[in-house]
Amino acid sequence: MSKLKLSWKYFIFILLIVITLTEVIYPQNSKPFHQFEEQVLQGLDAAFKFDFERSEKIFNSIIEQYPDSPTGYHFKSIPYLWKYLDNKNDSDFVSFINLSDSTIKKVNDFLESDSVDTFLYYILGSSYSYRAMAFTRQESYLGAVLATKKSLSYMNNLVFIDSTYYDAYMGLGLFNFIIGQTPPSLKWAMRMTGIEGEKDKGIEYLKLAADKGKFSKVEAQFYLSQILAEFYGEYEKAEELLNSLNKKYRKNLLFKYSLASFYLRLSRLEKSENLFSRIITSKDTNFSQLILYSNLSIGDIYFYRNNFDMASSYYQIFLSDGSEDYYRGIAALRLGLCYTFIGDSLNAAKYYKLTNEGNPDIDDDRYAKIIGERFLENPPDSLQRKFIFIKNLREAGKYNEALDSLLNFPKAGISNSQLAEINLYLSDVSFHLDSLTQAYSYALSAIANDDGEKWIQPFAYYFAVRVSLKLNYLADAKKYIEETKKYSNYFYENKLANMLNAVEYKLKMLEDAVP
C-alpha cells in the first residue's frame, strides 16, 4: 500500500470496521441502563481487547438476566459485525442480523409505552447504523441508504431531546464528516436520498465526544487520530492518540494496524514493520483482511528499502488471496518491478499483465494499471529503474541519500519530462531536510516545465504551497492552492485532494492568527 494505504474508498472501508466501535455509546442519564452498566462496560472492555469469548459470556449473562431488554442483544451483535466487516463471512453476517433484528423488535416494543426514553433512541439509532455498515460491506447499497437515514433520524431525535447527551455526538459526528467529505460528484446522489452532512460540524461533534463523552471517548479518539492524520496533517496529535489506544488495548489488531500504517506514512519503517509483523504472527483468525494487508505493507517496506527479494515474497502472499480486488494492481506492479530489478524479465511481464486486476476506484490501482501496461510494452530502462530506486530512498526517509542521488543523476539522455520529475523530487526531499528556499525553487522549476507528465504540475503546486506556509508566504500559498485545483484526471488525484485539505486548514489557522 502506498504509505498509509488510505485512499478515500479504503479509508471508508477502515471506517466501516471501526465505526462499530464508535457506536458503542451510552446515555449518561438513562435509568434502565444503570441496572447493568458495569456488565456492559466489562463486556465492551473485553471486546476492545479482542477477548470475544469473554465479551460474549458477559452479554449472554445480561440477556439471561434481562431477556426483555434490547441491551444484551445489541452489544452482543457488535463483535459479529466487526468480524464480518473484515472477513465477509456469511455466518458472522447472519449472527449479526439475527441479533440486530431482536434488538430492534424489543426497542419498538418498549417505545410503545415510553416514546422519549433516550437510551432506546440510542439503541435504535446505533442498531440501524450497524446495519448500514453491514449492508455496505455486502454491497446492498439501497439497504445501506435506508438504514443510514433511520439511524440519523433517531440520533438527531436523541440530541434534540437532550443536547448534553455527549456520547451521541460520536455517531453523528462521524456520519457528518464522512458525508461532508464525500466528493462533489457523489454528493448529489446523497442529497436525493435526503442524506446531508457537514464536515466541520462532524469534526466539532467528534471532538465534543472525545472531550466530554463517557463511553465513547476511546472511539472518538480513534476516529480523531485517523481524520487528523489523513485530512488535517496533525501528525503529533494523531500519534499521541494512537499510542494511547495501543497501550490500553494491546491485542486490538485494528488499533495496531492503524498505528503501523501511520508510521509507514511518516517513513518510520522500523516501527511500522515491528507492528505489522505482530499482526501477521497473530493467531486471531477473525481478521484475515488486516493480516493480509499487513503482508502487503511489509512488502512495501522492503520495496522502499530496495530489498526486492524480500519484498517479492510478501507481495506474493498478498496476491495469493483473490477474495478482494483492493490494491491487487499496485501489488502486481511492484512485484513486477521486483522481478525487473532481480533480472527475471519473464516473471516481471507476468505481473505487469496482472496490474489490471485492481480496484478502479483506488488511486494506487488506477496508476498501476496504466504504468503496468507501459512496462509490459516497454520494460523500465536503466534511467527509469534509477528513478524508482531514488523514490524508494525518499519513501524510506533517507532524504540525504535521495538528495545526493538526484543531484548526481546522469544528465545524458534525460528528457524534459524526466527533468520535471527530478525537480519535483528535489523539492520534496529538500523540504524534509528543512532546505526551504531550495525546496521552493525546485517546486517552481517543476511548475514551469510544461513537458512533464500531467500529475507533476499539480503536485509541484502543492509542494510550493507547503513551503509557502512554512515561510509564512500566505498570499502565495493561497494562490498555489487555487492553481492546484485547476487540474483534474491525473495520477493520485484523490490523495492530493486530502493533502490540499490539510494545507487549506493550516492556511486558515495562520490567517486567523494574523492580527
CATH number at residue 443: 1.25.40.10
169, 197 contact by CB (below 8 A): no
In order of 140, 206, 360, 450, the CA distances from 187 in angstroms are 19, 21, 20, 33
Question: Could you tell me if residue 410 is inside a domain?
Answer: yes
The number of domains in the chain is 2
3-state helix, strand, coil in the chain (%, to 5): 75, 0, 25
Between CA 222 and CA 385 the distance in angstroms is 39
> Residue 151, exposed/middle/buried by CB under 10 A (0-12, 13-18, 19+)?
buried
Indicate the SS3 state at residue 30.
Answer: coil
Question: Could you tell me if residue 403 is inside a domain?
Answer: yes
Q: Give me 209's grid cell.
A: 465526544
Between CA 319 and CA 252 the distance in angstroms is 25
User: In this predicted structure, what is the pLDDT of residue 115?
Assistant: 62
Between CA 23 and CA 175 the distance in angstroms is 11
Question: Could you tell me if residue 143 is inside a domain?
Answer: yes
Q: Give me 36's grid cell.
A: 447493568
Between CA 415 and CA 8 the distance in angstroms is 33
* 473: CB partners within 8 A, 6+ apart: none
Question: Of 198, 222, 243, which residue is a domain's last?
Answer: 243
Between CA 355 and CA 372 the distance in angstroms is 6
Question: Could you tell me if residue 57 is inside a domain?
Answer: yes
For residue 216, the 8-state DSSP code is S
Between CA 47 and CA 181 the distance in angstroms is 30
Question: Could you tell me if residue 2 is inside a domain?
Answer: no
pLDDT tens per residue, the chain (515 residues)? 333 344 444 444 444 444 444 344 333 444 455 678 889 889 989 998 999 999 999 999 999 999 999 999 999 999 999 999 999 999 999 999 999 999 999 998 888 776 667 888 888 888 998 898 899 999 898 898 889 889 888 888 889 999 988 878 888 888 888 888 776 655 555 565 666 778 888 999 999 988 888 767 878 889 899 999 999 999 999 999 999 999 999 999 999 999 999 999 999 999 999 999 999 999 888 999 999 999 999 999 999 999 999 999 999 999 999 889 999 999 999 999 999 999 999 999 999 999 999 999 999 999 999 999 999 999 999 999 999 999 999 999 999 999 999 999 987 878 999 999 999 999 999 999 999 999 999 999 999 999 989 999 999 999 999 999 999 999 999 999 999 999 999 999 999 999 999 999 999 999 988 77
Question: Of 243, 274, 303, which residue is a domain's last?
Answer: 243
Between CA 416 and CA 407 the distance in angstroms is 16
- Residues of the domain holding 158: 8-243
Burial 213-239 (b: 16+ CB within 10 A, else e): bebbbbbbbbbbbbbbbbbbbbeeebb
User: In this predicted structure, what is the pLDDT of residue 294?
Assistant: 98
Name the one residue in this structure whose C-alpha cell is 447499497: 141
Between CA 249 and CA 239 the distance in angstroms is 15
Q: Give me 32's grid cell.
A: 434502565
- φ, ψ of residue 107 to 5 degrees: the values are -65, -45
Q: Give me 282's grid cell.
A: 497473530
Question: Could you tell me if residue 210 is inside a domain?
Answer: yes
Question: Could you tell me if residue 294 is inside a domain?
Answer: no
Question: Could you tell me if residue 287 is inside a domain?
Answer: no
User: In this predicted structure, what is the pLDDT of residue 185?
Assistant: 55
Question: Of 195, 213, 243, which residue is a domain's last?
Answer: 243
